[in-house]
């Protein structure tokens, strides 16, 4: 995972993931279900964390160096759903209603900002590492 790179929020519908950091501290986060508290995790080199099956989670490299990690799953076909990318794959009127009544054109305008995965992470990291955000 490159400097400031992020595996955007996603789920694995058919498997639990264990993520082991090799050379740098990764920033991770998990949201298990509606009403659950968000948990942020520092995955330090030589340590691992578990993301339960179906939980929304992400991994980000907050350093200016390439990060290496190993992800393992308890099933041979874990599947993956990138949350933002898949959400905007729903009919625009449904997405708009879910976002508080946005119109179809407003939804289309928002969808144009959703990059493919892997994405560049947070602005603080990009600035610190001298990386310019470009359209993805």
The pLDDT of residue 136 is 59
Residues 70-119: tens digit of each pLDDT:
999 999 999 999 999 899 889 999 999 999 999 999 988 888 888 888 88
Q: What's the CA gap between 24 and 64, in Å, rounded?
A: 10
Q: DSSP assignment, residue 37?
A: P
**44-53 pLDDT, tens per residue?**
999 999 999 9
Instruction: Give the torsion sign (CA, 97, 98, 102, 107).
Output: negative
135 has a pLDDT exceeding 70: no
Q: What is the mean pLDDT of the chain?
A: 93
pTM, entire model: 0.89
- Going by their DSSP bridges, the two strands 81-82 and 5-11 should be labelled as antiparallel
């Amino acid at each position: 995972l490159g400097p400031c790179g992020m595996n955007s929020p996603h789920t694995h519908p058919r498997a639990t993931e264990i993520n082991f950091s090799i050379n740098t501290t990764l920033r991770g986060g998990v949201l298990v279900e509606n009403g659950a508290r968000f948990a942020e995790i520092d995955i330090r080199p030589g340590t691992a964390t578990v993301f339960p099956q179906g939980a929304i989670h992400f991994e980000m490299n907050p350093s200016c160096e390439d990060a290496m990690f190993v992800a393992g799953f308890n099933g041979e076909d874990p599947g993956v759903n990138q949350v933002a990318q898949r959400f905007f794959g729903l009919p625009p009127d449904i997405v708009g209603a879910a976002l508080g009544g946005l119109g179809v054109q407003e939804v289309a305008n928002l969808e144009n900002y959703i990059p493919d995965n892997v994405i560049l992470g947070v602005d603080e990291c990009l600035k610190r590492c001298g990386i310019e955000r470009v359209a993805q």
